[in-house]
Amino acid sequence: MKAVILAGGKGTRGKPYTEYFPKAMTPINDKPLIDYVVRYLKSFNFIKEIIIISDYNGLGGQIKNYYGDQKNIKFVQDSQSGTGGDLLHIEKELKNESEFLLWFVDNLCAVDIKKMRDVFKEKNSSVCIATRTKRKEETGFAVVKDGLITEFKEKPLMKLQLSECFGIYILGKEVIQKIKQKQKQINLSYDILQPLSKEGKVSAYDVVDKEWIDVESPMIVERNKKLVKKIIKQMGL
């Protein structure tokens, strides 16, 4: 099985930091974000190769310089044609794969890829997405009755009415064929996954008690030091 890391985003939410380095190189304890993702993926012995897609002609060149020539890591230039276009761009790299892992680099989470892969197969899915049904809120909440606050709940653990989706997917090779049928810049979620969900072909893997964070900037890391430390520990790094 191959893993594809998408690291070519413009990092708009991370400005002004991402004017100087790509989001993938956001520092966490003196190491870049992407290094935690790469080392975590390497901990699964069935992941044989990691493909990193980024703009190597721009700031993404920092990623390539960081890794240099390493066995089982391949660098592919961002096609600038949306997520779907990027996957078409590496179709040859995936031609012998029945499924592959897709990981958006700003996701930091100790997702059990083996169990997620099992769900993908058990449900006969075209796609499996990492999800969660509860999260710890960053703000305070209040219990209100008849316009009066009766209780405060500081940063509570909330059960979500809808499952929250992460940018971590297992995709079957048929998804590439679905992308091929589109003749425009493709949004993976709306153009491909939404129709597949109507066909009952998209499964969900609930991470249950595993923490998750969207690492959009160094500021987010700084504000969530304890959470980031906990996730890294859950990842075994």
For 26-54, what is each residue's pLDDT tens digit? 999 999 999 999 999 999 999 999 999 99
Question: How far is the CA of 31 from the CAs of 9, 54, 82, 231, in angstroms?
Answer: 20, 18, 28, 15
Q: Enter the CATH code of domain 2-134+162-234.
A: 3.90.550.10
Are 152 and 141 in contact by the 8 Å Cβ rule? The answer is yes
Q: Whole-prediction pTM value?
A: 0.90
User: Is the pLDDT confidence value at 55 over 60?
Assistant: yes
Are 141 and 156 in contact by the 8 Å Cβ rule? The answer is yes
Q: In whole angstroms, what is the distance from residue 43 CA to residue 21 CA? A: 27
At 65, is the secondary structure helix, strand, or coil? helix
For 63-115, what is each residue's pLDDT tens digit? 999 998 888 999 999 877 777 778 888 999 998 899 999 999 999 999 999 99
Question: 173: which 2 tokens?
Answer: 């090779």
For the chain, the residue count is 237
User: Is the pLDDT confidence value at 188 over 90?
Assistant: no
For 142-163, what is each residue's pLDDT tens digit? 889 999 899 888 877 778 888 9
Q: Quote the pLDDT of residue 159.
A: 83
**Pure H helices in the chain:** 33-42, 61-67, 82-89, 113-122, 174-180, 194-198, 218-223, 225-234
